[in-house]
Structure formats: C-alpha cells, structure tokens
Amino acid sequence: MVTMLLFLAGFVLAGMTLICVNITEYDRIEYNKRCDITRTGCMLNDNVGGFEPDTSGITDYEKKIDMLLREQPFQRFYNRLKKSGLVEKCAQYSILGNPEVDEDIVRFQQGHQINNYAKSDCVEVTHVQKDLFDLYDIKVESKVDRDDWCTDGIILGYRFKEKYEDIEYINFLGKKCKLLGFLKENQKLSFEEVAHKDGIALTGLYNLDYAFFHLYPEDAYTGVELHFRLAQGVTREEFRKKAKEMAKEEEATIETLYFMDEHLSELKKGNIDILGYINEFAVGLLLGVTLICIFFKVHSILRNKKIYGIFYSSGLSTHQINALFVIENVIILFISLIMAYLCLYHGIFYFCEFFGSVPHLIVDVVKSVLVSKVFVQEFLLCCAMIIVTSGIPILLFSRLSPLSMMRDFYE
C-alpha cells in the first residue's frame, strides 16, 4: 500500500510536469491557422454616458430594445470604426447560456461547455455577426446562400448535422429561427482573454463541433466584444491611438484591447507559470520513489529467502518466481497510474484555482492535453518503470542459489 501511494504521488507530479511541457504547444486554440494574428484583435467595451433616447411611446419590446442599442455610445463608435479605414473587417461576439431552445440541442451540448459556465439546462449560445466567420476563417456548410443569411438565423456545429439536417427552423427565444447551415467538422476557436474580466465569463466553446451560433443584426451594437482585423498599412500604434480618440469623442470606454498573437503569448505564459509550481519536483520525486521501491524489493529478497525456499519446494522455477516480480509491479504501477490520472483530471481545476488567478483560461486546455498526450506519455513511463523495478530484483534473484534458499527454509 505504501509503495502504491508513493507511486501515485510520483505519477501525479510527473503528470503535472508533462502537462507543463506539452501546454507550450497550446494546440486547442488555432488563431494562427485561421487568420493573420498580427493584424487581428479584440476589444471589450463598456457603454458610459451618452444620450438615451425617449422610448416611452414605443410599446413593442423588441423595437424599444433595438432603439436603445442603436443609440448607445458604442453604437456610434462602432459605426465610425467601420467607416474609418482603420479596419478591414470587424464583427461582434458575445455568449450567454439560455434554456429557451430545443431540448435535444441542450442534451447535445452537455459535457462540452466551459466548466462552471452555462447551467446544466442551458444551451451555450454564441451571438455573432456574420463577418466573424470571415475574420477567423470558420468554415460553414450553408443550407441558405450566405447573401441571404438573416438576423436571428441559427448556425449549428457539425455534431448536430445528422439530427437537424432536414430541419428548417430551430426554436429559440420563444420563436422559430431559420437554420442557415452547419459548421464543418473539427474546428476549434475561443476568445479567452475576456473570459474572466471582473469575474464575468464570456468565453465560447473550444470545440465548435458543438457550437450554437445566433446571428445579430449587422448594424446594431450589442455592447460586448468587438473583433477586428486591421486594414493593410495600419499599424497597431496608429489603431490604438485613433480608436481611443474616437471612443473618447463618443463618450465610450475601451476596457481591453489586444491582438491575438499577444493574447496567445500571455496565455501560454500563464499556463506555464501556474503549472510551474511543481515542475522542479515531479520527475525527481518519481525517480526517488523508483529507487526506494527497488531498494525495498532487493532488501525483501535478501531478508526473506525462506519464502522463496517455500516457492522452490512447491515446485516453482526461477523463471516463474521472476514472473511474480513482474506481475506484482505491473499491478502496483498500473493501479497507481489510473488513480493518478483520475486525480489529475478531476483535481486540475482546484490546483489551478489555488495557484492561479484565472483557472478557467487553462482548465479545459489542460484536460485536453492530459487526455491526448500526457496519459500516453505516462503510460510509456509506467512501462519503463515496470522494467526497471522488476529487472534489478530479477537480476539479483537469478544470481542466488536455489539450494541456499531451500537450506534457509529447512533451517
């Protein structure tokens, strides 16, 4: 039992080290494959001040909300930005869990939402404008011609296709929304930099196979995120300066403005900083555990030769007894590995929350790396340790004389 616990601790810390090494690839976020990340960025905005229109004579709720949105300070900023020549494209993005959708869609998404974000009975709805698909080169298999994409249209991830391919409308927010198409398979995207701004979660699904996109009007600002790609020849410094000036003139505030390559660099550094707390200890501890186990195994053989005398007197051969060493180590090491993997998978959030200030930024990425890479690497490490922890005792045991152990037994 003690040996198993030691190996369990060793595998947990070795797994954390392997995660730290693998996370530098950050392979679940593919901005660099989808767009020119040196020219693409995002800003998080906050509406302040400005004129609020009189809507007292408007009884239609949707028209009232629409008018309020269009007259907000950032609506004016958004309109100016699109015409300024600073950007090639810009589009809005926001996300909100919402239960008012077909139940089958909610069931499809279960288990694929960001941890502790959308409620269990909600679909994770991503509100976008259609230019966002061009900004990040998100491939869509359209049921409706793109020029005819309409406000309130719905685009579903690839995993919904089989069930909804022949469906024309999706129930959402109490009305029937046109199903415009499906995303092509195996696309990944996320906007994490604003995920935990002041504790507010605004991050989307990593795996777009389970995504639910709802189209907003192209000419209305929703007051959340604005994604953009700089026009050719416009520098970051020029864009930041002029965007700040326009926002000030329109009495709007830019809370966060960043470019994707900066964003990826910060996320990678954050991952390594959090996981780096154990990086120096894990491999050393695991090697130490291995040496201790080898020492106790050798000590057990030398001290308990009478037991092996019993084995010989029972008719077991040296090869059969050596096989017992291997089987024992296989059982101990594989049980330790499986338990360590479960500890890592279910405990990674608490570890990141304890040591880092933004655990949601990395938890799902860490789990992906854990499943796809680290477990395989630890499995190979486990196999190597079986050979080492069995090989040395076997080598020692094979050099002992069966007759001397039989003599010890009869004495």
Instruction: Identify whether the C-beta of residue 257 lies closer than 8 Å to the C-beta of residue 193.
Output: no
The whole-number pLDDT of residue 241 equals 94
Name the phi and psi angles at 319, rounded to 5.
-65, -40
Phi, psi (5° rounding) for residue 264? -60, -40
Q: CA angle, corner 92, sides to 86 and 97, nearest 5?
A: 160
The CB-side HSE value for 19 (13 A sphere, CA atoms) comes to: 33
Q: Rounded to an integer, what is the distance from CA 44 to the centroid of its chain?
A: 21
Residue with tokens 């990826």: 264
pLDDT value of position 410: 55
175-183 and 154-156 strand pairing: parallel
Per-residue pLDDT of the chain (411 residues; tens, 9 = 90+): 777 887 787 788 778 777 777 765 544 455 556 778 889 988 887 654 444 555 566 666 556 656 655 667 778 888 889 899 999 999 888 777 778 888 888 887 776 655 445 556 778 788 888 888 888 888 999 998 988 888 889 999 998 999 999 999 998 888 899 999 999 988 876 654 434 334 333 334 456 888 889 998 877 776 677 889 999 999 999 999 999 999 888 888 888 888 888 877 776 666 666 665 555 565 666 677 777 777 776 666 666 666 666 676 676 777 777 787 788 888 888 998 999 889 888 887 776 666 554 444 456 667 777 887 888 888 888 888 888 777 777 776 666 666 666 665 555
Considering only CA atoms, which of 381, 303, 390, 392 is closest in space to residue 21?
Answer: 381
Cβ neighbors of 387 (< 8 A, separation 6 or more) are none
Query: What confidence score (pLDDT) does residue 203 get?
Result: 39
C-beta of residue 271 within 8 angstroms of C-beta of residue 19 = no
Cα(82)–Cα(113) distance, integer angstroms:
32
The tokens for 296 are 């106790």
> Which sequence spans correspond to the domains of the chain?
2-24+273-410, 29-258
Strands 252-259 and 225-230: unpaired
DSSP letter, residue 227: E
Rounded (to 5) percent helix, strand, coil in the chain: 55, 15, 30
pLDDT of residue 204: 43
Tell me which residue has tokens 């050596």. 322
Residue 377 to residue 372: CA distance in whole angstroms = 10
Neighbours of 82 (CB within 10 A): 17
**Cα 73 from chain centroid (whole Å):** 34
The pair of structure tokens assigned to 144 is 């409706």
